[in-house]
Structure 1
Amino acid sequence: MKTYRKQNTPNSKGLQKFTESESIINIVLSLDKITPEDIKRFTTEQRNNLSEAIQNHFNQLRGEERDIFYEKIEAIMVDDTKNQMWEQNHINIMWAITSHIKENGRMPTKTEIASKTELSRQTVHKHLTDYKNSSYYSEFQAQFHIMQSKVMTTVFQHAINGDMKAAKLYLECIGALKNTSSGNNQNNVSNNTLIQNQNNFIQIGGTILNQEIIKQMSPEQLGTIEGILKTIEVKEAEKDKQV
């Protein structure tokens, strides 16, 4: 009587391989801490599967449980993933602070931020404490510096459309009009108006006010302009209060 050996079909081999890979990943995930040594023999496919399993599990965790799991996997995380997690935490914390201020009219406590973001209080505390000394701080500051030109353009547009409050702000920002606390300046201007060298101008109706014209003005004329601007500023403030 002939006996036949059962042949493994391609599908059964693939299933067996997948099961073995899944088993290996589960063993690694059961470790207290995962190190690069634990996954150094992983294939590219196994690394991808492990990464997906970690991401799925991490997203389900909240608070201190997330911190504990993060400590487990931190050694095998690439810098890009760490950066993304930091940025996401930062966005959530900023949102929590902004929302709480709008809702309650005060700054939230760390506990309140943790509750709103579902992060642990320890993570919130560490993020707020380390933020200014982190490399991300300078990156965020650079983003604000980039937007300065956009803000100045908007102010300038309002100024040339007749908004004298915007015109005063624009002149002060570019250094063409600056109030100093002391009465001493190089031009001996008694009304504390300092004129600096800037190639900018504003136009009101058919009149152009530029750097050269400002320099030729007497202290009395400069005082008159400043008085007008201050009067407009007061009126604008009163309007804002009424609104």
Structure 2
Amino acid sequence: MKTQQLTLTNSEKKITALMALETITINDLDNLDLAERQYLGVVCTKMLQNLRDTERDDFLKKIEPIMLDSNQQVWEYNHQAITDAISRFTEEHGSMPTRNQLAEETGLSRQTISKHLKEYQSHPGHAEQIEQFKMMAPRLMAKVFQSATKGDIRAAKLYLETVGASGKQQVVKSQNNHIQINNTILSQENLNRLSAEQLSQIEHIVTKALPQAKMIG
């Protein structure tokens, strides 16, 4: 029985030759057409999925000159892998994982993990994620407001602390015969000094946030 020979296409030969280089540069891609460049991207993606530890680091170093915007994708992949591993480990073991344990969980090298944990806060990708969380704040506050209007005292307090009557953060504390909002004490004497319109505004804010709460006269 004859052994079937695997014949490489011209495009496959080009990619194999590139993979044999110590470093792949932009100039090395000059003789590749669009389809061959796309094929190179598929090959690199598959290799990154299969490589682990320092072998993955070495391959990333090899293709770094041709990665361009892919550097952001690598950071995002590493960040997701590390945060997922920390979440799983702490849930299962009740403690934070070591660098070695994170390397085992993620397949990333210990050096990559240490570098990421040390520098992630200064990376542009981290700032972008924080902005995404900020975008969701109004929707979250809408949920808090809905709970407050259903009589949830904690939700109402959180809502008032966050936005307050004037849009400033305010802390409301209950006292024996007065209410303290930050450093301002609202006693019966102070209430007597307010106009009917001002009292009406306060009543409207409280009753709107706490329709089921009982007012103490």
Provide the TM-score with structure 1 as the length reference: 0.67
Cross-structure match for 2:146: 157
Give the distance between the partners of 1:19 and 1:165, measured in 2 at CA. Answer: 68
Larger deviation, residues 170-179 vs 109-118: 170-179
1:60 aligns with 2:60: no
Aligned match of 1:47: 37
Q: 1:178 — aligned with what? A: 171
Highest RCO, 1 vs 2 (Cα 8 Å, sep ≥ 6): 2
Mark the CA change 1:84 to 1:183 in structure 2 (over 3 Å): closer, same or farther: closer
Partner of 2:23 in structure 1? 33
Give the superposition deviation at 1:175. 2.9
Distance 2:182 2:108 in 1: 54
CA–CA distance in structure 2, aligned partners of residues 147 and 83 of structure 1: 23
Written as runs of structure 1 = structure 2, the 5 A alignment for 1:215-230 is none
Residue 209 of structure 2 aligns to a residue in which SS? strand
Report the Cα offset of residue 172 of structure 1.
1.3
Q: How far did 1:119 drift?
A: 0.9
Amino acid at match of 1:127: H
Q: Within the alignment, does 1:119 sit opposite 2:108 as a pair?
A: yes
Per-residue CA distance 1:173-207 (angstroms, 9 max, x = gap):
11344159x9994x5558xxxxxx99954142498
Superposed displacement of residue 60, structure 1? 1.3
Moved segments of 4+, more than 6 Å:
none
5+ residue gaps, structure 1, are: 1-15, 191-196, 210-223, 226-243
| 8 Å contact kept, 2:172–2:181 | no
Structure 2: any 5+ residue segments left out of the alignment? 1-6, 174-179, 188-200
Cα deviation code 1:116-154 (max 9, x no counterpart) = 111111111111111110101111111111111122111
Residue 57 of structure 2 is aligned to residue 72 of structure 1: no
| CA displacement 1:11-40 (0-9 Å, x = unmatched) | xxxxx9x62222222111101111111112
Corresponding letter in the other structure for 1:35: T
Q: Summarize the alignment of residues 133-148 of structure 1 with structure 2, pairs less than 5 Å apart.
A: 133-148=122-137
- Alignment length, in residue pairs? 185
Q: Distance in 2 between matches of 1:178 and 1:45?
A: 62
8 Å CA contact 2:85–2:102 kept in 1: the answer is yes
Please provide the CA RMSD for this pair: 2.9
Q: What SS is found at the alignment partner of 1:175?
A: coil
Aligned-partner Cα distance in 2 for 1:188–1:137: 41
Cα distance in structure 2, aligned partners of 1:183 and 1:50: 64
Deviation at 1:45, TM superposition (A): 2.1
**C-alpha distance in structure 2 between counterparts of 1:183 and 1:85, whole Å:** 48
Distance in structure 1 (CA, Å) of the matches to 2:119 and 2:99: 14
Partner of 2:194: none
Can you list the C-alpha shifts for 1:53-86, whole angstroms capped at 9, x where unaligned? 222222211111100011001101131x222222
Deviates more, 1:49-58 or 1:90-99: 49-58
Gap change, CA 1:56 and 1:158, over 3 Å in 2? same
